[in-house]
Chains A and B, each alone.
Chain A
Amino acid sequence: MGGGIARGMAIGYLSLIVLVPLAALIWASRANGLGSFWTEVTKAEAASALKLTLVVAVLVAAFNALAGTAIAWVLVRDSFPGKGFVNAVIDLPFALPTIVAGLVLLQLYGPNSPFGVNLAFQRAGIVLALLFVTLPFVVRAVQPVLLELDREMEEAAESLGARRFAVFRRIVFPNLLPAVLSGVALAFARAVGEFGSIVLISGNIPFKTEVSSVYISGQIESGNAAGAAAVSVVLLLISLAVLLMIGAFRHWMTRHDR
């Protein structure tokens, strides 16, 4: 009985917050008919922005898998002065308004960079901004798993003569992978939809550095709400497919735990 109420509330809440808005978006995208939907999403500029968005999102997610795991490893297994502080800093990219993040990155890695590194107004700048805003996902997904991981398993393997790399590959890595994948999925989804931190540093040149979120905002400003919705729907569908793939892989990875 209690379970039924909880389930009802969970589903009701999910519907209000996520499902209904998504349904409304899909509804809006077909406002001018299916033919127009197709025209909108196959426009050269829309397709190019979509491609760029997905490529950088995959790149950023993959890089996060490595860097995020490494950071989590250092935070859990190493001890150094100021570790607590570093641990707290990890989440700051979430708290900073993304437009401020974009402006700061532009000042540090733009034409007047104090380090002499100019990544602004090119694709590298987009990747940089996305790495900044997606940093916490993998770190925070891997950290608790690493904390829970039984050190005795590793010690047992080492005492049986396994080399350090073999221990990592056979014991640590398989245990961490599901968590890494959840982090990667979150980072990917965030990278696909990100707007604020990119819009300043990318320069927004169509066919070169214009990502989908910026293209969509242009369509809205030009009074083409249906076109904006259509491109968003395609972006969502592709993201959903990627997330489902990651989820299926994760499910398969953890099949022995069930």
Chain B
Amino acid sequence: MRRIWLTFLPAALLAAAVVVGAQAAGAKTTLSLVAYSTPKDAYGKIIPAFQATAAGKNVSFDQSYGASGDQARAVAAGLGADVVALSLAPDVSTLVKKGIVPGNWTKNPYRGMVTDSVVVFVVRNGNPKHIHTWADLTKSGVEVVTPNPFTSGGARWNVMAAYGAERAQGKSDKEAIAYLKKLFKNVSVLPKSARDATSVFATGKGDVLLTYENEAIYANKKGVHIEYVLPKQTILVENPVALTKSGLKHPEAKAFLKFLWSSKAQKLYGDTGYRPVLKSVYNRGKYKFKQPKTLFTINSKALGLRGWKSVQYRFFDHNSGIMVKVIGH
């Protein structure tokens, strides 16, 4: 028995020293942010801005970026996270189901959504194929590039934008689904993710790329000249953030989340091409975005969109989803 004690004594001493040392260093907190890859540059500016405030003074961050679905699965499987920033609400729902994020994460003035964007058409310079409307995408000889909605959760925004745009133009549910079939006949490649789709389009494949406005704006800011068309009808893309149960234990994490909806952080998001969700920032000065004629959301019931849960099942179920047939011909 004594021997066992002796074996563990050094380890115990070391542990004690670490704890004492950490306290001596003065309430330094490390928060872990797990996010999808697109807002990486935004967080590169938002985090230092937060650390410059009184609430963020002694907070450091572990940051992880990757595909939204992969990140959600990693957190579900045990990757430590205090704050999650994902590209669409169903990825947060995955964490709610696992009991990692509390079910009331949407109970705030912004329903848990921290940035907005819209689905746009990126075209070749000078728009040689004259692509302006959703109907133009189905013309013969037009090649469309969009990520595969089964491998990319984010690509589901594109599909729902196409469906909703048809409904917004007075088409029936049946006609809108027929439109999807026609659209995907013109889709000649289905890259795995939005970034892959951009790479493929950049190598010269296709006439039009379905993507988010923030991607197009950001590419232009980085010096890659990209021309894009805002269709008359499009979907409002909404990106969620949430605190996990472990994050809720840290007042610093709560302060960080609150900071994300401050005008300072919202402007920084806006600088990387996102539409700020804060009314006082959105559509002021340089954050003035072009408004489409009809902007709908994933919850526009009049257009047959009854939220992600219903859409995921109806369109993207791996067995019976409409898109299985649309893509598989």
Interface residues of A (CB under 8 A from B): 44-45, 103, 106-107, 110-112, 120-121, 199-200, 203-207, 214, 217-224, 227
Q: Which residues of A contact B152 (CB under 8 A)?
A: 221
- Given A106-B199, A110-B203, A111-B203, is A222 in contact with B150 using a C-beta cutoff of 8 Å? yes
- Given A219-B318, A221-B69, A224-B318, is A110 in contact with B191 using a C-beta cutoff of 8 Å? no
The answer, among B150, B199, B328, for a CB contact under 8 Å with A221, is B150
B141 within 8 A of A: no
A206 touches B327 (CB 8 A): yes
- For A103, A204, A222, the residue with the greatest tally of chain B CB atoms inside 10 Å of its CB is A222
> Chain A: which residue is nearest B68 at the CB level?
A221
B328 touches A45 (CB 8 A): yes
Q: Which residues of A contact B192 (CB under 8 A)?
A: 199-200, 204, 214, 217
B153 within 8 A of A: yes
B204 touches A112 (CB 8 A): yes
Q: Can you offer 24 A-B residue contacts whose CB atoms are under 8 A?
A: A106-B199, A107-B203, A110-B203, A110-B204, A110-B205, A111-B203, A121-B188, A200-B191, A200-B196, A203-B188, A203-B189, A203-B191, A203-B200, A204-B189, A205-B190, A207-B329, A217-B151, A217-B192, A218-B148, A218-B150, A220-B73, A221-B150, A222-B150, A227-B318
Bound-state CA distance A222–B153 (Å) is 8
Q: Which residues of B contact A199 (CB under 8 A)?
A: 191-192, 196
Q: Which residues of A contact B94 (CB under 8 A)?
A: 223
Bound-state CA distance A111–B124 (Å) is 14
Q: Which residues of B contact A120 (CB under 8 A)?
A: 203, 205
How would residues 12 to 56 of chain B score, 1 for a CB under 8 Å from any chain A CB and 0 otherwise? Answer: 000000000000000000000000000000000000000000000
B203 touches A222 (CB 8 A): no
Bound-state CA distance A153–B203 (Å) is 53
Q: Which residues of B contact A203 (CB under 8 A)?
A: 188-191, 200
- For A44, A110, A207, the residue with the greatest tally of chain B CB atoms inside 10 Å of its CB is A110
